[in-house]
Structure 1
């Protein structure tokens, strides 16, 4: 498009591309979690280790990309949003990868296998939390289009609809997390207390993953309002 070509001729590579790529890599750290949970349920620890390595690699790549964006994002941008807001956005995106790694590290550090009575609820929460991250990524992928139209018009409405769907997904994780905690509470007397503590911690991290995705959407919503 003409607008994109004009931006490119003025500044070379758009600063938005690396921000979108960073969110893609952060999402890649999260999207491995359902298969990691399944591998632990199957007690396939060789498979789990391979998945864990992929998560670690994605988190490292996200960290590197975050530093690169912070170092190289131009200080003077003719854009509808301040440079500082874009830097904040990258920091929030990075929390997605960090939280995914934190959950994976607890799982692998303890060879954690959730009790069979909890397994369906854990899988459900994991899937929905990752879906939140995917929805946040989809919204961020529209950022360059939003810039082209000056954060106005039909594109804004389309992104707002995507963010509304993200909110719905995050609220679903709240309910799923509550239900999972209730199930765990009823099983506490049957389980080792230390295991119970880490089950609660792992569950909380899955909820935090969805919260991180929602924060990405919230910050994008702030950009839309400016």
Structure 2
């Protein structure tokens, strides 16, 4: 049988959870990737970039299969359109991880020593956001079983609130890094600075997109 259909047979929420776990696997490779970038180990950078791209492709395949086989009339208090919107939000996180790795690898970007540690902390906090989003999505089974009410809803709501806090932390760190990069601008090639700001923004997008997953989950709870 098709593995997606097998998942639907066990739970209509399982494919969503499986996809989000694959998204988190993709994002979870970024710290090792950034370590290689900082060490300017370009062979390792290239290897990890290809791995991230491969995992993102796997997430894409899961997304396509899920869209293809998601029934129109699931017997649960969740609409097909809402689930597809949630799926799209999840998928954007993996896409952004792939974009970050692709841009840095393609340009062999060197992160200035003055912001390396801050970048690692910033990336870590942004990944915390995607991890928190993944944890929230793993509650879908319990939410379904409870009919989207009761204690399980409270737990999911608290997870989403925590996700908002993490995203805010990432915003604060981003401001700090941008200020430090501003102070270094005169000592760096202008083109490099432009792309460094882009990478900083995209790392922040990981947290923003994770927060959007939480917002989509909130909509499910509200309906």
Q: Taking structure 2 as the reference length, what is the TM-score of the superposition? A: 0.94
For the residues of structure 2 that align with 1:85 and 1:22, how far apart are their CA atoms?
A: 16
For the residues of structure 2 that align with 1:47 and 1:193, how far apart are their CA atoms?
A: 27
RMSD, aligned α-carbons:
1.0
Q: 1:32 aligns with which of 24, 29, 47?
A: 29
Partner of 2:100: 103
For the residues of structure 2 that align with 1:209 and 1:17, how far apart are their CA atoms?
A: 23
Total equivalences in the alignment: 216
3-state SS in 1 of match to 2:113: coil
Q: 1:61 aligns with which of 52, 58, 63?
A: 58
Write out per-residue CA displacement over residues 81-113 of structure 1, whole angstroms, 9 at most, x where no aligned residue. Answer: 111100111111000000001111111011112
Write out per-residue CA displacement over residues 170-224 of structure 1, whole angstroms, 9 at most, x where no aligned residue. Answer: 0001001111101011110010000000000000000111101000011001111
Kindly state the Cα deviation for residue 13 of structure 1 after the two structures are TM-superposed. 3.6
Gaps of 5+ in 2: 1-7
Alignment of 1:14 onto 2:6: no
Kindly state the Cα deviation for residue 29 of structure 1 after the two structures are TM-superposed. 1.1
For the residues of structure 1 that align with 2:108 and 2:125, how far apart are their CA atoms?
A: 23
3-state SS in 2 of match to 1:150: coil
For the residues of structure 2 that align with 1:117 and 1:172, how far apart are their CA atoms?
A: 20
Q: 2:47 aligns with which of 15, 40, 50?
A: 50
Kindly state the Cα deviation for residue 167 of structure 1 after the two structures are TM-superposed. 0.6
For the residues of structure 1 that align with 2:33 and 2:62, how far apart are their CA atoms?
A: 24
Alignment of 1:121 onto 2:118: yes
For the residues of structure 2 that align with 1:122 and 1:167, how far apart are their CA atoms?
A: 20
Write out per-residue CA displacement over residues 34-65 of structure 1, whole angstroms, 9 at most, x where no aligned residue. Answer: 11111111111222222112110111011111
3-state SS in 2 of match to 1:118: helix
